[in-house]
Structure 1
Amino acid sequence: MKAAGGIKWRLAVLGLAVAMASAGLHAKSSEPAKRSTKATVSAAANAGGKAAKRGPRPAKAVPGRVVRKSGRTVVAAAAVATAAKPSMGQQFGLHRTDDPLDLRSSVAYVLDQDTNEVLLAKNSEAVLPIASITKLMTAMVVTEANLPLDETLTISQADVDTEKGTSSRLAVGTRLSRGELLHLALMSSENRAASALGRHYPGGEGAFVQAMNAKARNLGMLDTRYVEPTGLSSKNQSSAHDLALLVKSAYGVPLIRELSTSPSHQVEVGSRQLQFRTTNRLVLSPEWDIGLQKTGYIVEAGQCLVMQAQMAGRKLIMVLLDSAGKYSRIGDAERIRKWLQSQNAKSSAALR
């Protein structure tokens, strides 16, 4: 579906600079904020419910260090010294787009899987980072390659995240089957698992990424680009319209449906048993009938969620991107579900 006016949002570096300038954003927003010592101490005190008095020579505030000032004790907090970095959607002002449900996601798209009727569209052609939604395409490439799921793969140093510095319970040297790694990548969004899947593809990660982009083109995902298999890179970008195509295709793969909606899974790592759980708590809710799902988050992308679910008597595909707040994507999904149920009830009442 084309957005109003046919405008497409392309988040290229040059476009970002122009948009930031027109919106009055400062270049320093992408860098750690620098604040004066006085401002840091004052803000830390205000957070505790007391305003710090401004003296002529304020004590130096170091995050985590107790500072004596005017006979009182002030603890300088690390969070005070650095402003939160905005997502790309926030930088482009997409959160200012009005919608009837007052969603916290800057991008929303709901599609009837069977009829292709668009039930809700908000910035659906905005091209944004998609974080771990990437792993759906990773799973598509792995399953279509018909590689043996029982083959043992080894986590190596190459799978350690140097992009964002995220941690993992899969230590270097961990040996798991390809099927187990696929399970953890889809259910728990395990980055090292996804990286290992890409590395062990015939031709290595480079060939794997080429296959990801080729599959995207084959599905008609013309606004989509992948550079690696985990989603840690903000250069993995797509639109809600494109991701709906991916979800629809991935739903046709029974293994992806099964693994992505698994509530938990236990794997044996050496002499230990490690329990992994889903990143989407809606999978556990009796009010939801979810056939496929994937969550994602990096700072540049915000909170993301894609799902296939049965709602109001229909098979629907839902895409939420760049949601602000840890639980906001879940709240938005609930708002959409209740809205659809309300619409369905009104339609049924009108027919009676």
Structure 2
Amino acid sequence: MAGQRAIFLMTAILAMVAGAGRPSPALAQAANFHPCNAQPALPICQHGYGRRVAAMRWGAPREALDPDAAVKAPLITRDPAGEIGKLRSTTIFVEDMDRAEVLFARDADVVRPIASIVKLMTALVVVDARLPMDEMITIDASDVGVPSELPSRLAAGARLSRVDLLHLALASSENSAAHALGRTYPGGMTAFVEAMNARATVLGMNDSRFVEPIGLSNENVSSARDLARLVHAASRQPLIGEFTTDARYSVDGRTFHNTNMLVGRPRWDILASKTGTTREAGDCLVMMVRLGGRNLAMVLLNAQGMSGSRFGDAVRLRRVLDSRMAAN
């Protein structure tokens, strides 16, 4: 009996060691279980992004949504200063791009990782190249094998047109689609990355550097001021503006949804947008919006707090900006 108990204990210890990086399946099946509540020291649980990945992977309940990100959140305020105090993004920048007037700035020149905001530059390079949009591209193992914690929804061997891949990369931030666009660029991925950095230079994005078209690498960096230039340029390309503001898109028998929960809402005139999320970059959002007859670039980086805080911050900023415009 003692020998069996020793074997059992050793087996349990080995199982714990093997599963040290993830919650156990048994725990994941418990009522109201959230892996990061049970094991908060797990690396995956150190950021809101990791908590959401854990929720998706183990079927845990979703995080509570930032109330200001909700559909019925009010868009007016009598307390602009209070709204500013509630902003949860560490880096914020709002500029009227027609007047070159900065309306709000917080750490606008800090250079930091930008996650999938990179895909706006990916799209600009693809559109600039004037490649045949109806060309069929086969997704291969390198496209679906990018080191993301979120699985690709495209399978190796799937054939999609270049325009479909661009649509998926922008609206639903499909990593495999963005990788395939870079891989099939004339000259391959190296030439594609060179084109990304060359385009950044033309736009005057002096704080920016790109190393791949997806946004998973922390070496893709920029500042909020640079990203305002990027989203403005993207909004002037009709195809990019259309795809980034498409609430949902169906291709190959599947429906993909926009990662920006503000897209499609009434009273929001969004001209272009892109989200980005990694543990290091945090939750990010860039948009060109039409507000009070003005074309505004809105950049929110590294939002902290509850799920949807970047969208809540966009609502809070809109309240502040609306109140200022009404006072003028």
Structure 2 length normalisation: TM-score? 0.76
2:288 is matched with which residue: 287, 308, 311?
308
Q: Where does residue 252 of structure 1 map in the other structure?
A: 236
Cα distance in 2 for residues equivalent to 1:181 and 1:111: 30
Conserved? CA contact 1:133–1:305, under 8 Å: yes
2: distance between equivalents of 1:285 and 1:306?
Answer: 16
Give the alignment of 1:272-287 within 5 angstroms: 273-287=253-267
Aligned ranges for residues 58-73 of structure 1 at < 5 Å? 63=24
Q: Could you tell me how far 1:85 is from its partner in structure 2?
A: 3.3
* Contact 1:99/1:122 (<8 A) preserved: no
Q: Kindly indicate whether residue 69 of structure 2 is the aligned counterpart of residue 85 of structure 1.
A: no
Tell me the residue number matched to 1:334: 315
1:122-271 alignment, distance < 5 Å? 122-268=106-252
Aligned equivalents of 2:36, 2:292: Cα separation in 1: 51
In the alignment, which residue of structure 1 is the partner of 2:72?
A: none
In the TM superposition, residue 76 of structure 1 has moved relative to its aligned partner by: 10
Alignment match of 2:89 (pick from 88, 105, 120): 105
Give the aligned length.
Answer: 265
The answer for unaligned runs of 5 or more in structure 1 is: 1-36, 38-61, 67-74, 88-97, 348-352
Paired residue secondary structure (1:329): helix
Cα distance in 2 for partners of 1:163, 1:266 equals: 25
> 1:163·1:233 contact (CA, 8 Å) conserved in 2?
no
Q: Which has the larger radius of gyration?
A: 1
**Shift of residue 314 of structure 1?**
1.3
Structure 2 counterpart of 1:346, one-letter code: A
1:285 deviates by 1.0
Percent of paired sites with the same residue: 51
Query: What secondary structure sits across from 2:40 in the alignment?
Result: helix
The CA deviation string for residues 317-347 of structure 1, in whole angstroms up to 9 with x for no partner, is 1000011132100000000111111111222
Q: 1:180 to 1:298 in 2, by over 3 A?
A: same
Distance 1:200 1:241 in 2: 31
Q: How far is the alpha carbon of 1:232 from its aligned partner?
A: 1.1
Provide the residue aligned with 1:95 in structure 2.
none
- What is the CA-CA distance between 1:65 and the residue it aligns to? 5.5
Per the alignment, residue 289 of structure 1 pairs with 269
Answer whether contact 1:127 1:223 (CA < 8 A) is retained.
yes
Offset at 1:78? 5.1
For 2:327 and 2:157, locate their aligned partners in 1 and report how far apart those are by CA, in whole Å: 57
Residues 74-123 of structure 1: CA deviation (Å, up to 9, x unaligned): x9965334264369xxxxxxxxxx99443100000000021010000000
Query: Hey, what does 1:120 align to over in structure 2?
Result: 104
- The answer on whether the counterparts of 1:131 and 1:231 sit within 8 Å (CA) in structure 2 is yes
Is the contact between residue 210 and residue 220 of structure 2 (CA under 8 Å) also seen in structure 1?
A: yes
Listed one character per residue, the Cα deviations across residues 173-221 of structure 1 (whole Å, up to 9, x for unaligned) are 1100000000000000010000000000001011100100111111111
For residues 134-188 of structure 1, the C-alpha deviation after alignment (integer angstroms, 9 at most, x for no partner) is 0000000000000000000011111124433320110011100000000000000
> 1:256, CA displacement in angstroms?
0.6
Aligned mates of 2:234, 2:301 — CA distance in 1: 18
User: How many angstroms apart in 2 are the aligned matches of 1:165 and 1:205?
Assistant: 22
Indicate how the Cα distance of structure 1 residues 161 and 106 shifts in structure 2: closer, same or farther if over 3 A, else same.
farther
The alignment's C-alpha RMSD in Å is 2.2
The offset of 1:312, in angstroms, is 2.4
The more displaced of 133-142 and 242-251 is: 242-251
- Partner SS for 1:80: coil
Q: Which residue of the partner structure matches residue 71 of structure 2? A: none
Residue identity matched to 2:46? K
Listed one character per residue, the Cα deviations across residues 253-273 of structure 1 (whole Å, up to 9, x for unaligned) are 1111111101111112xxxx1
